[in-house]
Each structure stands twice: as structure tokens, then as C-alpha cells.
Amino acid sequence: MPRPVPVALIGQQFMGRAHSNAYSQAARFFDLPREPVRHTICGRDEASLKAFAERWGWAHTTTRWQDLAEDDAIELVDVSTPNDLHRAPAIRMLEAGKHVACEKPLAGTLDDARAMRDAARKSKARTFVWFNYRRCPAVAHAFGLMRKKKLGRVFHVRAHYLQSWGGPETPMAWRFRKKRAGSGAHGDLNAHSVDLARFLMGEEIAEVHGAVARTFVKERRDAVTGKQAKSDVDDCVLFNASFQSGATASFEASRLATGHLNRNFIEINGEKGALRFDFENMNVLWVCDDEPGPESNGWRRVMCTSGEHHPYVGNWWPDAHLIGYEHGFANMVADMMRALAGKKPAVPLPDFEDAYQTQRVLEAALVAARERRSVKLSTIR
């Protein structure tokens, strides 16, 4: 009987629910070499912690994340907190020999991200970062096509992640405070876009050529005090870049893109074909190639719901039955459990080293916007 993986989770809000659900579902749908066990939930709101634990199946609770490092029964600690609270618990858990999973972006600042990467380098433990869109079957299928060089030489990558929930009526939250979040739409949304672009391309971004960052809503109502509070993060960031191969890239993130709810979009154009993915239609990958010939070729809509041909979906429902947002988290838990058992994940898992490379690109874009110049990634360390 394989040893289970006792898990502790720090954070009980939106991502806490998403991660809790994933830990509860993965072993029910995947034949795992090791199964996650929900050992301890950690949160600051003691009044609601017990109810959260009962609802989501956590055996123990604590309001001190330091307790997790001292508990020998815990093997994996999942850091699902605001960005400014990633560094301290992640490093402490690595020093205690725990495996660590961390929400994205890796941290709110490059300095924090670097410290986390360095701690991971010193540790024998595994690290994971929740860039969960890699685990959408359509994206994983696109990764396979890219590894087979189906597009040939790549010329262009264009990505945007557009939401519309961050208008003036949206009250103040930690995501709108630079001290807590590090950045706004950029770190929240462009982080996913940069990760997907790097993941699919299989190479690094070499230079950011220019960027624009805007804060349109400068004050928001504090829901507790009722007073206006300063919003000092970006609402929108756009930047252009080049990959090491010379392929051009464009990235746009906004929380004020009226008409778009959760449009995580990426398109790649190559000499032999192209592909594009839009999370608002997440079960579909659009593919363009030379078949059936010049007289009728064009974009083909590929439903990535065949268990025999597309990653992950064979573990869920019969062919042609759609999956949703929460399944990407469960797919990632399954791959993490495979990794902790020494098995190969369906597609590569991002670790702290990998996520740090994305953080460098995010930093380069902020420097480019602030100083109105191009920035080589070799200068961002």
C-alpha cells in the first residue's frame, strides 16, 4: 500500500476552496501512486476555521503557520495566501524538509521570489507553483503539438488575459494594495500568460521592448470603514517582448476589459501552422495547418474531450463531456502526487526555479513601463 501524502494548507479563501476541492477529488478520479490526505488547514480567522475544516474535510486546524513546520506528520505544505505572505512560510517549510506548493505569482516582489528560489535550491524537497492552466487538456494537448514541432519555426506569440470585475464599484481588497499584492492585473493575470507562453514555447523571453502600465481607478471604498482608500496597483499592463529564438510576443492584462469575464487567451503563429486557446471556451483548441490543402485549409476546432487522445480527460467523464475550471486544480494535484512518487507528470510541473523565470519577465515589464525603455532579461537577476 503506497504511503499517503499528508497535506497542510495555508489559506481558506478563494484559492483555499479551490485547492481543498482538488485534494478531495484527485484520488477519486485518478489512480495515484500516492494519495493526498487533508491533514491541517491553517488560517488567521479562527472563528470560521473549524467550519471550513468540517466542510472541506481537513482533520486539524491551526492559526499559526509555524506549527506546520514543527509537525513531523506533514509532508507537503500548500501556501495559498496573499502574495506578500508567500516568502516566510515557504522558506521555513523548505528548511524543515517539507515539500512546498505555492500560489502564483511566486511572490509579490522579485526579491521575495529570488529568496524562495534560493531556498528551494538548498533544499532536497520538491516545490510546485499553481500555474494551473497548464493542466487544461487543451493546453496540455497544445504542449504536445509544440514538442512535436507541428508549427515549425515560430514567428509570433500573442497573449492576453482580460477580466472586467475591477471597476470603480469594486471595493478595496488586498489585490489593490501594492504592499500586499506587489502589482495588480500584471502579477495576477500576466503571470499566467507569461507562464503559458514560456511553457508552450519551451524557451525563455530574452527582452522586453516596451510596456505601458495604468492605474485607472485610484481610490476604492473600504468595505469595513466605508471610507475611500488608495488603490496603488496597476489595473492594466501591456508589453512587447522577444523570445530567444527571435519570435515576437505581446502580452496584455486588464481587470477593466468590459465584456470579458475570464479571457485567458494565447495564440502562436508558426511557418507551418498556428494554434490558439481561450479559457472562456476551455475544452477547445483551435489548430491551423496545411491540411487538407491550400484550397480549403484554415482553422479547425478541436474538442479536447477524447480520453484516448487528450491529456487528463480520460480520468473524468465519457468522451465529449466537458470539464471546468476546478478540474485543472485536480489535474495538478494528480501530477504533484506522481512527482512525489518519483513518477513523470502528464506535462511538466512548474517549480520555484521555473516560476522565478516568469517573475523576472514580470519585473522587466514593470521596469520598462516605469523607465520607458527596453529591458534585456539578462539585466534582471
- 120/91 Cα distance (integer angstroms): 8
Express each pLDDT in 22-48 by its tens digit.
999 999 999 999 999 999 999 998 889
Residues 6+ apart with CB under 8 A from 142: 200, 268, 275, 277, 285
Digit-coded pLDDT (tens) for 75-95: 999 999 999 999 999 999 999
Percent of the chain with pLDDT over 70: 99
Kindly report the CATH number that applies to the domain delimited by 5-132.
Answer: 3.40.50.720
Amino acid making up residue 298: G
pLDDT tens figures, 1-22 = 689 999 999 999 999 999 999 9
**Interatomic CA distance for residues 94 and 116, integer angstroms:** 9
pLDDT, position 291: 73
* Closest by Cα among 331, 329, 332, 310 to 321: 310
So where are the chain's domains? 5-132, 135-371
Distance CA 37, CA 2 (A): 12
- The span from the CA of 244 to the CA of 308, in Å, is 35
| Cell numbers that stand for 218 in this block | 485610484
Taking residues 262-279, report their average pLDDT. 97
Residue 295 has pLDDT above 80, yes or no: no
Report pLDDT for 293. 73
Who's near 259: CB < 8 A, 6+ residues apart? 164
pLDDT of residue 104: 98
Report pLDDT for 2: 84
Check: CB of residue 144 under 8 Å from CB of residue 151: no
Is residue 102 over pLDDT 80?
Answer: yes
Q: What is the per-residue pLDDT across 224-234, written as a single tens digit (0 to 9) for each?
A: 899 999 999 99
pTM of the model: 0.96
> Looking at the domain 135-371, which fold is it?
Dihydrodipicolinate Reductase; domain 2 (3.30.360)
Q: Are 71 and 51 in contact (CB under 8 A)?
A: no
Q: Is the pLDDT assigned to residue 270 strictly greater than 80?
A: yes
pLDDT higher at 47 or 259: 259
